Amino acid sequence: MKKSIFVLFLILTIICTTFASDLGRVMEQLRRNTTDLYSKVNEVKWERKLELYKFFTKNIPVDDIEKYEYLLDKTGNLSDLNIKLSLALKKYYPDYKERNNLISNLKMSSVNTSYLTGIADNITEAIYLLREPQNDGSYKYAKYEKSGDQLAENEQLTVKYTIDSLGTYSRKFDSRVYMIKIYSPKKRGLFEGNRDFYVKDIKIKYSKDGREKIYNKNVEKWIKRGESYDLVFPEVYKSPEVNVRYGTKKEHKNRATMGFEFVKATLMDSKDNPNYALLQELKNLGTADTKDLDSLSLKLKGFLKNADLGSGNISVAKNSNLGNNKSSMPSNDKLMYFYYMLKDDTNKRENLINKFENMFLK
């Protein structure tokens, strides 16, 4: 008996050690990738500011440049910048085509998408591990709930069967589904109105605890055009096979369209998870707008500041020291900006001195 308990303890220890090792590896790689991307994003932002400043000196009278220096802080989102830049140049270039031609010559650097791909893969794997997957495909700290409106499938078909000789629609899913919506579009094509159809029943085959089970629902309902019938399943089904028997009046055969929407269950994270806050941070990072460098930079910085990735415990620390770690965080943004100004040989010495005084001595 003692030997069995020891073996079981040993197995659990190996599983936990492997889990911690995998998670630590993924999180460390994510930290490195995020740090690299954060540095690159800020580098690109300051390169853009420098290019825009050079653009001003070339196309706007020197005495007026200071009026538009606020636009240097709008380079994170180029769509927003172009609109504001066009308004600023209108005073000097009233002709719309001439103004747009000038703006089109402004070449702005971008961030290599390979950075983003690596981070996205790391985030997906880290979230998966932090939920602690179980052998049966479930998670220790997350479960599928009957909520949300993400579709597993949206399909329409022509009703070719009558109520005297019903047809069967059958569909197998790889995902977890919790609801079916059967609807009747108002029209078929541009001019013809849809015809009503009849739903006899719905049968769902699914597996639970290794055994195949069946859920039957007698519907016996006519679905009129513009109407729908929703069936929420008793529970979330993993990879179900859905069968619907249906038909229409003989005179409406091939003149009725039937629609199906299958709704996926939502995987909800448990607040009991000791890494719940970190999971939210990861999901927030995963939805960052990669075209808006200001927003992306803030999310990357927030993740690096809040995620205590250097400790043995993977958790979010409110007062993490990671933000002060020189190897983790890039140099001060202002210093980086000034560094790129120094590299540009078109900047005169007096301009650099004035800029330095404004940035660091006031």
Q: pLDDT exceeding 90 applies to what percent of the chain? A: 45
Mean pLDDT of 80-104: 92
pLDDT of 227-267, one tens digit each? 999 999 999 999 999 999 999 999 999 999 999 999 999 99
One DSSP character per residue, 291-341 reads T-HHHHHHHHHHHHHHEETTSSS-EE-TT-SGGG-TTTSPPPHHHHHHHHH
Q: Does residue 77 belong to any structural domain of this protein?
A: yes
Residue that has been written with the tokens 């009991």 in this structure: 272
In this structure, the answer to whether residues 219 and 256 fall within a common structural domain is: yes
The CA distance from 159 to 331, in Å, is 65
What is the model's pLDDT at position 303? 86
In this structure, the answer to whether residues 256 and 148 fall within a common structural domain is: yes
Q: Does residue 229 belong to any structural domain of this protein?
A: yes
In this structure, the answer to whether residues 52 and 111 fall within a common structural domain is: yes
Contact criterion met (CB below 8 Å) for 234 and 180: no
Lowest-pLDDT choice from 83-87, 129-133, 214-218, 347-351 = 347-351
In this structure, the answer to whether residues 239 and 313 fall within a common structural domain is: no
In this structure, the answer to whether residues 122 and 21 fall within a common structural domain is: yes
The CA distance from 298 to 291, in Å, is 13
Tell me which residue range forms the domain holding 249. Answer: 144-268
pLDDT of 277-289, one tens digit each? 889 989 988 888 8
Contact criterion met (CB below 8 Å) for 101 and 5: no
In this structure, the answer to whether residues 39 and 87 fall within a common structural domain is: yes
Task: Return the SS3 of 163.
Answer: coil
Mean pLDDT for the chain overall: 83
In this structure, the answer to whether residues 194 and 240 fall within a common structural domain is: yes
The CA distance from 72 to 215, in Å, is 62
Task: Give the side-chain half-sphere CA count within 13 A for 304.
Answer: 25
In this structure, the answer to whether residues 148 and 260 fall within a common structural domain is: yes
Q: Which tokens in the block code for residue 11?
A: 């197995």
Residue 334: which pLDDT band, with cuts at 50, 70 and 90?
A: low
Dihedrals phi, psi of 121, to nearest 5 degrees: -65, -40
Mean pLDDT of 6-20: 45
Q: Which tokens in the block code for residue 131?
A: 């939920």
pLDDT of 197-206, one tens digit each? 999 999 999 9
Closest CA to 300 of 124, 123, 125: 123
The CA distance from 293 to 297, in Å, is 6
Domains in the chain: how many in total?
A: 2
List of residues 6+ apart from 156 with CB closer than 8 A: 185, 257, 258, 259, 260
Closest CA to 275 of 24, 44, 48: 24
Mean pLDDT of 120-138: 90
The CA distance from 284 to 119, in Å, is 13
What is the model's pLDDT at position 20? 61
List of residues 6+ apart from 50 with CB closer than 8 A: 337, 340, 341, 344
Contact criterion met (CB below 8 Å) for 39 and 291: no
Whole-prediction pTM: 0.67
In this structure, the answer to whether residues 87 and 179 fall within a common structural domain is: no
What is the model's pLDDT at position 336? 64
Report the range out of 178-192, 245-259, 296-310 with the highest average pLDDT: 245-259
Q: Does residue 341 belong to any structural domain of this protein?
A: no
Please list the residues that pair with 96 across neighbouring strands. none
C-alpha dihedral (128, 129, 135, 138), degrees to nearest 10? -40
In this structure, the answer to whether residues 127 and 166 fall within a common structural domain is: no
Q: Domain boundary residue among 241, 268, 295?
A: 268
Report strand pairing: 266-269 vs 228-238.
unpaired
In this structure, the answer to whether residues 294 and 239 fall within a common structural domain is: no
Q: Does residue 298 belong to any structural domain of this protein?
A: yes
Q: Domain boundary residue among 223, 251, 268?
A: 268
Residue 226: which pLDDT band, with cuts at 50, 70 and 90?
A: very high
CATH at residue 185: 2.60.120
What is the model's pLDDT at position 138? 87
Q: Does residue 43 belong to any structural domain of this protein?
A: yes
Residue 132: CB atoms within 10 Å? 17
Q: Does residue 201 belong to any structural domain of this protein?
A: yes
Q: Does residue 288 belong to any structural domain of this protein?
A: yes
Q: Does residue 346 belong to any structural domain of this protein?
A: no
Say whether pLDDT at 3 is over 70: no
Say whether pLDDT at 310 is over 90: no
In this structure, the answer to whether residues 176 and 127 fall within a common structural domain is: no
Q: pLDDT exceeding 70 applies to what percent of the chain? A: 82
Q: Domain boundary residue among 268, 285, 305?
A: 268
